[in-house]
Amino acid sequence: MSQFDYDLFVIGAGSGGVRAARIAGGHGAKVAIAEEYRVGGTCVIRGCVPKKLFVYASHFADELEDAAGFGWTVEGARFDWATLRDNVQKEVSRLQGLYGQTLGNAGVTVYNARARFIDPHTLDVGGERVTARKILVATGAVPVTPDFPGAELGFTSNEAFHLEQLPKRILVYGGGYIATEFAGIFHGLGVEVTQAFRASTILRGWDEELRARLQEIYAQKGIHMRGGASIARLDKAEGENGDIIRATMTDGEVIETDAVMYAIGRKPNVEGLGLEAAGVKTAENGAIVVSADSQTSCAHIYAVGDVTDRIQLTPVAIKEGHAFSDTVFGGKHWKADHRLVPSAVFSQPPLASVGLDEDTARNEGHEIRVFRSDFRPMKFTLSGRQERTLCKLVVDANTDRVLGAHMLGPDAPEIIQAIAIAVKLGATKAQFDQTVAVHPTAAEEFVLMR
């Protein structure tokens, strides 16, 4: 009989933790998982899924406007925030139930409680002591909140999905992908949006040309872009139709708004885990330090997903969790590959990328050739929309290997997902050129660039 209650105890039932628990259970391990809020984690409950549904909803404003050029007359169209909000939460609840079923079918015991280390093998789970031979931390990340005066007047993306009313005006504070996505969402839903960010350009780390183009498109859409701007304080004030918020920026500018949303980054969710009691080392930002096999400084404790701050993407956490369970419980040793991971920003239009951008490729010592295609999508020729799509390939001049592919425009994430396979396999520009185009599509530009 085992001296432990479980072979594996997983802390956090997000995408990475659930995958690890399910796979370990499939390998015959006795598994339990603890989740203090709702099974499903950031992606299902307060991230990818509800956000993408909000993105779909916000697209209809442009679609209805574009319909006129195709002969459609749409009268009386109006948007109801409560319907969207509540329908999205119904879908979230449905998915949460499916995640619970997945764990149940794998024989995983679920604790609806917070877990905390007492010692390297013992956890306090909602007041109950539980022991495990192996422990996996998969608690994800949480939004960073500012500490300037009046910060309590704002909210984060966690709360954005549950607003009682849609504000008439909103200040979105941040220049990363969450801020940029929500700026597009709120704008599409009819809110007057200001996006303020500390850098000169949004989306630091993405291809310079594409992010500058997206910022320009946002400004043309009517989103007020405030680069080089930081909030110094927030104050509640009385407006013509009730309370408003006055945001005083560090340069003295005052922005009057009805709501402020913070999206200034995310930090590993390690507070209150008791990692010190287990001898688990963390980095300066709180991230759990792990090996390529997701092993921490304590040999039988592992960590996957955003809490390790390697690549904060749901599919990466899933790969890490799967690799952990196969390796530790299934006798199949493999590691999650963090190279050439495709990613997307569901902005409007969306931006997607895989591999190296121009600056990174040069900094890594590559001599490169850059191919571009800049065009107006066919759909917009009748709708009258002036928005343009930009596609890029970054190619190693010596080997002809495609180092990176980048796109800003409709369907960019769907297209880059397929392109990522070719880039991952080391395809050359010549092989892209040899591929027959599917015409007429935007995707064909990637095999027609000269």
Tens place of pLDDT for every residue, the chain, 450 residues?
469 999 999 999 999 999 999 999 999 999 999 999 889 888 999 999 999 999 999 999 999 999 999 999 999 899 999 999 999 999 999 999 999 999 999 999 999 999 999 999 999 999 999 999 999 999 999 999 999 999 999 999 999 999 999 999 999 999 999 999 999 999 999 999 999 999 999 999 999 999 999 999 999 999 999 999 999 999 999 887 778 999 999 999 999 999 999 999 999 999 999 999 999 999 999 999 999 999 999 999 999 999 999 999 999 999 999 999 999 999 999 999 999 999 999 999 999 999 999 999 999 999 999 999 999 999 999 999 999 999 999 999 999 999 999 999 999 999 999 999 999 999 999 999 999 999 999 999 999 998
Per-residue pLDDT reduced to its tens digit, 250-305: 999 999 999 999 999 999 999 999 999 999 999 999 999 999 999 999 999 999 99
From the list 425, 436, 364, the residue with the least C-alpha distance to 396 is 364
Of the candidates 121, 333, 406, 439, the residue annotated as catalytic is 439
Residue located via tokens 């679609």: 63
From the list 149, 191, 150, 190, the residue with the least C-alpha distance to 172 is 191
Check if 439 is active-site: yes
From the list 227, 259, 228, the residue with the least C-alpha distance to 243 is 259
CATH assignment, 349-447: 3.30.390.30
Q: In the structure encoding, which two tokens stand for residue 9, read together? A: 């105890």
State the pTM of this model: 0.95
Whether 151-264 and 6-143+267-329 are alike in CATH topology: the answer is yes
Partners of 247 in the β-ladder? 234, 255
The domain segmentation of the chain, as residue ranges, is 6-143+267-329, 151-264, 349-447
Residue located via tokens 């307060």: 46
Question: Could you give the C-alpha distances from 86 to 81, 185, 354, in angstroms and in order?
Answer: 9, 16, 35
Q: Is 66 exposed, middle or buried (0-12, 13-18, 19+ CB in 10 A)?
A: middle
Please state which architecture CATH assigns to domain 6-143+267-329. 3-Layer(bba) Sandwich (3.50)
What's the CATH superfamily of 151-264?
FAD/NAD(P)-binding domain (3.50.50.60)
From the list 326, 302, 236, the residue with the least C-alpha distance to 23 is 326
From the list 288, 440, 269, 411, the residue with the least C-alpha distance to 352 is 411
Instruction: Tell me the residue type at 334.
Output: W
Query: 214 and 408 in contact (C-beta within 8 Å)?
Result: yes
